[in-house]
Amino acid sequence: MRSSMRRRRVIAWTAGGVAVLLVLAAGVVWSAARFDGRRVAMAGLPFDLVIQPGVTGPEVRAVEDGLRLADRHLRSALGQGVRERVEVRLARGQGCRWRTSADGPSTAWAEPRLMCVNTLSPGWREAMTAGTGQAQDVIAHEHVHNLQGQVGCFRAADDHEWLWLFEGMAVHLAYRAMVDGGRWREEDEIGRIRSWGADDPSLGPLSGFERTGAGLGDPAYALFHLAVRSLARGPNGTPALLDFCRATAQGRPWRTAFADAFGITLDTFYTKFEQLRRGTI
Ligand SMILES: [Zn+2]
């Protein structure tokens, strides 16, 4: 009797605990999914904007412009854009998701079918103030992550094996989207890589950025940009980036996928890249 009472109490406690957890989890899901704002479908493009009150007209136009440039470039350079629609949230009154701060450090982030721009973040404010296409560049960068997600090679922050290539694709293709759209000049690409600090000696070799290192910010991203730029200029061209992505999405080990897509083994690329890096920046 005693033992069965005790067992029932344990079961009741467990059921209660599960119920509490379910309510909490539902709250998290509901809060993450809920994002109030004016919904605008972009005509002829796979984007639905959700704009919160307070987001300005120039901000909306910069986002739309960045999306248009990125979509056009990915379709022409890679032969494929996103196939499923992307919801693009322009956050103002609340952050991009539950418990994220509206003025927190994250400028923007992307998932396969979602992008969120934190318009109160310092990074976005700076990009908008500069007015030289930097805001469009941020959007184009995130849209590359949308495509990576839809192709199946998106990696979460703690799950990277080829971080420099994942982020380098976004930086390089976003830059090229700006060039394609006539906003930036191709001949300024190396200049920007330098100005972002790719020559910072503390960065170390590219091979040190397979799993971590994005936290080093602009200098690291500039290094990734230079690396992916050199891959895109290789024998298999820019579409090789998508070939690599597709192969890893199908479960091929990334080093094999790399050699197949780019026509060079990873070790040889690392060696050649360090030479190129010394001679370029
Ligand atoms: Zn990124």
Q: What is the pLDDT of residues 223-274, one digit of tens each?
A: 999 999 999 999 999 999 999 999 999 999 999 999 999 999 999 999 999 9
For residue 108, report the distance from its CA to the centre of ligand 1, in Å. Answer: 9
For residue 218, report the distance from its CA to the centre of ligand 1, in Å. Answer: 11
CB atoms near residue 43 (< 10 Å): 6
DSSP 8-state assignment for residue 36: -
For residue 89, report the distance from its CA to the centre of ligand 1, in Å. Answer: 17
For residue 117, report the distance from its CA to the centre of ligand 1, in Å. Answer: 13
- Report the C-alpha dihedral over residues 136, 139, 144, 146, rounded to 10 degrees: -150
Tokens of 148: 């990576």
For residue 15, report the distance from its CA to the centre of ligand 1, in Å. Answer: 41
| SS3 of residue 52 by DSSP | coil
Q: What would the pLDDT profile of 110-167 be if each residue is shown by its tens digit?
A: 999 999 999 998 999 999 999 999 999 999 999 999 999 999 999 988 899 999 999 9
Q: Is the pLDDT confidence value at 48 over 90?
A: yes
CB atoms near residue 162 (< 10 Å): 21
Which residues lie closer than 8 Å to 186 by C-beta, 6 or more apart?
Answer: 179
Tell me which residue has tokens 């976004």: 170
For residue 221, report the distance from its CA to the centre of ligand 1, in Å. Answer: 9
Tell me which residue has tokens 């190129």: 276
For residue 43, report the distance from its CA to the centre of ligand 1, in Å. Answer: 26
For residue 173, report the distance from its CA to the centre of ligand 1, in Å. Answer: 11
Ligand 1 being an ion, which residues bring their Cβ within 5 A of it? Answer: 167, 170
Residue (of 177, 145, 138, 182) closest to 160 by Cα position = 145
Distance of alpha carbon 19 from alpha carbon 111, whole angstroms: 29
